[in-house]
Copies of this chain bind each other. A is one copy, B any other.
Amino acid sequence: MKRIINFIFAVLLSPVCLFAQGQGVTQCGTSTGQYPFPVQSYIELSDPSVPSSQQWSTMKQPCVSWGTTDVRYAKHKLPVLKVQKNISLTGWRGEKIHAQAVVWTGTDIDKLNYSFTEFKNGKGNIIPASAFSGGFVRYVMTDELNKDGRGACGSRPDHTIYDSLLVADGIDHLLEFIPMEKMSTRAVWVNCRIPQSAIPGLYKGTVEVKDGDKILSVLNMDIRVSSHTLPVPSEWTYHLDLWQNPFAVARYYQVPLWSQEHINAMRPLMKMLADAGQKVITAAIIHKPWNGQTHDYFESMVTWIRKVDGTWAFDYAVFDRWVEFMMSMGINKQINCYSMVPWELSFQYFDQASNSMQFVRTAPGESEYEEIWVAMLSSFSRHLREKDWFDICTIAMDERPMEVMQKTLKVIYKADSEFKVSLAGNFHKEIEKDLYDYCISIGQCFPEDVKVRRHTEGKWTTYYTSCAEAFPNTYTFSAPAEATWMSYYSAKNHLDGYLRWAYNSWPKEPLLDSRYKSFAAGDTYFVYPGARSSIRFEKLIEGIQDHEKITILRREFTVTGNKDGLKKIERLLSPFNLSSFPEIPAERTVNKAKRILNTL
């Protein structure tokens, strides 16, 4: 059966014909460039699960209700929901809060759409409609954890081995309306970024859900605005490091790398990342720093040229263009440069003598490695200092054997003893002091004294999740609240933030199919083309904001000597234990903590 379904997918995917009925837009072509980008509308893949006529038989009219943001409502199923027309949300001034409305129907809906009213409090103050945004939740193909349930690493060349299901994930803000077939469900995601200038109080408003002009339901929403204020994302202390992949954008949008079109295509995507509090620019200083593990490998942003006289020349025009663009997006706190110790110790360059791309294979400890890297880093250091970026730049390593990392550090310091260094890997006390930005796996621990010292030294101390973790994680099939849970866990452990290796390393057709030839589906990207957000990403932001709120409150309570408040924080954080997965769902822990946090 799975094989049949996958056969159907194959037919659907090649060539892809993307359109939305009722949109007046039909865009067809193969995935390699015939249709115009960005894709405004597209048809989701067919649901491998067929709706049960019996189950849906009682549903005649469309039904609309508030749901929860913790659930990915299945397309083919009647949602397990008692219809709720009212919802109450709480947030700080400056906080982005969200809710999810659910529509399910026994009859076809031509043009499902929604609109927000102005929100008012009793004194006539308002939250303007412009503070609200939303999107239709879109269905994407996903798979599942590895068969042993213990993670999602490894190669997956044959998708038929894994369960394939359509899940709600993307949030599509580009459509004005969407059609619904009878016996299907569609959620509407609602965001409200409470203005920092909002007067605290209780605001009331509605979301109208319609079929064309015909109102299907009016949903009421209360927003309780706290007197606390969350700073703008660029001022959050949370150290968010989701690795950006500009190469995926160029390929997907079929635009020349680093052209103005490329920059334009990246702008909304990277703005969305900046708005999530991203601090770090991901820069590739060599060809394939991760040996091409993504659908679109990372190309060097530094031009390496070996001249015919044997000397090296480096050019930073691409690097500068990338960094300057990202800084213009507001991501300007740090630049992490990958990598002196790639997984494949092979360094590509343009060889003037042979007029071709060549590789040199050399490893830390070898004289050729030192010769090349001291040349590169000395030049790079000069360039960074000219640009006044030296102090925010790190030479970034992935986990390598201790001896290799130590040899690498020696080479870095030989070129410039003031270079900052970052590492995402295991905890190693031997080199911890060398690491300005140190990120370890969520399953590992920094010693308490190390964290305290690092904090006073102004160093970043974070953790990451990857395919190694089954829970918590942010696959397209992960429970949405796991994305939030992680930041509570980080707050509990007094860590500065979170790193994930893939903000947008899109697979071939990211809108349709989140699966990839390796890892579980969604591992390689958080967000979708068209700068479409996702349930996972919005829930991640929720956690980041909560982490930031906790940081602010801790600071405030410490200053004011509010020991009771501090205790309450520790108490609300105490249930965040990795060992509670998968028995205790993330949303239970998160929502309980959140209720308390919002009373502080």
Using a CB–CB cutoff of 8 Å, the interface residues on chain A facing chain B are 256-259, 287, 299-300, 303, 307-309, 315, 317-318, 321, 348, 350, 352-357
In Å, the complex CA distance between A299 and B259 comes to: 28
Residues of B contacting A321 in the complex (Cβ-Cβ under 8 angstroms) = 308
Determine the residue in chain B with the shortest Cβ distance to A352: B303
A-B contacts, 12 listed (Cβ < 8 Å): A287-B355, A299-B355, A300-B355, A308-B317, A308-B318, A309-B317, A315-B352, A317-B352, A318-B353, A350-B350, A350-B355, A357-B357
Q: A308-B321, A317-B307, A318-B308 are in contact. Are A353 and B300 (CB under 8 A)?
A: no
Residues of B contacting A299 in the complex (Cβ-Cβ under 8 angstroms) = 354-356
Determine the residue in chain B with the shortest Cβ distance to A300: B355
Residues of B contacting A353 in the complex (Cβ-Cβ under 8 angstroms) = 256-259, 318
* B258 and A308 contact, CB distance less than 8 A: yes
In Å, the complex CA distance between A321 and B321 comes to: 34
In Å, the complex CA distance between A509 and B566 comes to: 82
| Supplied contacts A299-B356, A309-B317, A350-B350, 19 more A-B pairs, CB within 8 Å | A256-B354, A257-B354, A258-B308, A258-B353, A299-B354, A299-B355, A303-B352, A303-B355, A307-B317, A308-B317, A308-B318, A308-B321, A315-B352, A317-B352, A318-B353, A318-B355, A355-B357, A356-B357, A357-B357
* Top 8 closest pairs, chain A to chain B, by CB: A257-B353, A258-B353, A308-B317, A299-B355, A350-B350, A308-B318, A257-B354, A258-B308
In Å, the complex CA distance between A352 and B305 comes to: 10
In Å, the complex CA distance between A256 and B318 comes to: 29
In Å, the complex CA distance between A356 and B318 comes to: 13
Determine the residue in chain B with the shortest Cβ distance to A301: B355
In Å, the complex CA distance between A315 and B315 comes to: 14
Residues of B contacting A308 in the complex (Cβ-Cβ under 8 angstroms) = 258, 317-318, 321
Chain B: minimal CB distance from A3 (Å): 38
In Å, the complex CA distance between A355 and B287 comes to: 8
Determine the residue in chain B with the shortest Cβ distance to A304: B355
* A352 and B309 contact, CB distance less than 8 A: no
Chain B: minimal CB distance from A328 (Å): 17
Chain B: minimal CB distance from A541 (Å): 32
In Å, the complex CA distance between A244 and B335 comes to: 49
Residues of B contacting A357 in the complex (Cβ-Cβ under 8 angstroms) = 355-357
Residues of B contacting A350 in the complex (Cβ-Cβ under 8 angstroms) = 350, 355
Residues of B contacting A348 in the complex (Cβ-Cβ under 8 angstroms) = 355
Chain B: minimal CB distance from A247 (Å): 9
Residues of B contacting A318 in the complex (Cβ-Cβ under 8 angstroms) = 308, 352-353, 355
In Å, the complex CA distance between A244 and B163 comes to: 63
Determine the residue in chain B with the shortest Cβ distance to A348: B355
In Å, the complex CA distance between A299 and B309 comes to: 17
Residues of B contacting A309 in the complex (Cβ-Cβ under 8 angstroms) = 317
Chain B: minimal CB distance from A7 (Å): 35
In Å, the complex CA distance between A307 and B300 comes to: 14
Residues of B contacting A317 in the complex (Cβ-Cβ under 8 angstroms) = 307-309, 352
Residues of B contacting A258 in the complex (Cβ-Cβ under 8 angstroms) = 308, 353
Determine the residue in chain B with the shortest Cβ distance to A260: B310
Determine the residue in chain B with the shortest Cβ distance to A302: B355
Chain B: minimal CB distance from A297 (Å): 11
Chain B: minimal CB distance from A284 (Å): 9
Chain B: minimal CB distance from A109 (Å): 45
Determine the residue in chain B with the shortest Cβ distance to A287: B355
Chain B: minimal CB distance from A366 (Å): 19
Residues of B contacting A356 in the complex (Cβ-Cβ under 8 angstroms) = 299, 357
Chain B: minimal CB distance from A309 (Å): 7
Chain B: minimal CB distance from A318 (Å): 5
Chain B: minimal CB distance from A360 (Å): 12
In Å, the complex CA distance between A355 and B348 comes to: 9
User: A303, A318, A350, A353: which has the most chain B beta carbons within 10 Å?
Assistant: A353
Determine the residue in chain B with the shortest Cβ distance to A316: B308
Determine the residue in chain B with the shortest Cβ distance to A256: B353
Residues of B contacting A352 in the complex (Cβ-Cβ under 8 angstroms) = 303, 315, 317-318
Residues of B contacting A259 in the complex (Cβ-Cβ under 8 angstroms) = 353
Chain B: minimal CB distance from A316 (Å): 10
In Å, the complex CA distance between A353 and B299 comes to: 9
In Å, the complex CA distance between A572 and B348 comes to: 63
Chain B: minimal CB distance from A256 (Å): 6
User: A257, A308, A318, A321: which has the most chain B beta carbons within 10 Å?
Assistant: A308
Chain B: minimal CB distance from A592 (Å): 50
Determine the residue in chain B with the shortest Cβ distance to A318: B308
Residues of B contacting A307 in the complex (Cβ-Cβ under 8 angstroms) = 317
User: A300, A309, A350: which has the most chain B beta carbons within 10 Å?
Assistant: A350
In Å, the complex CA distance between A287 and B354 comes to: 10
Determine the residue in chain B with the shortest Cβ distance to A315: B352
Determine the residue in chain B with the shortest Cβ distance to A309: B317
Residues of B contacting A303 in the complex (Cβ-Cβ under 8 angstroms) = 352, 355
Residues of B contacting A256 in the complex (Cβ-Cβ under 8 angstroms) = 353-354
In Å, the complex CA distance between A257 and B315 comes to: 23
User: A321, A352, A355: which has the most chain B beta carbons within 10 Å?
Assistant: A355
In Å, the complex CA distance between A309 and B357 comes to: 21
Residues of B contacting A300 in the complex (Cβ-Cβ under 8 angstroms) = 355
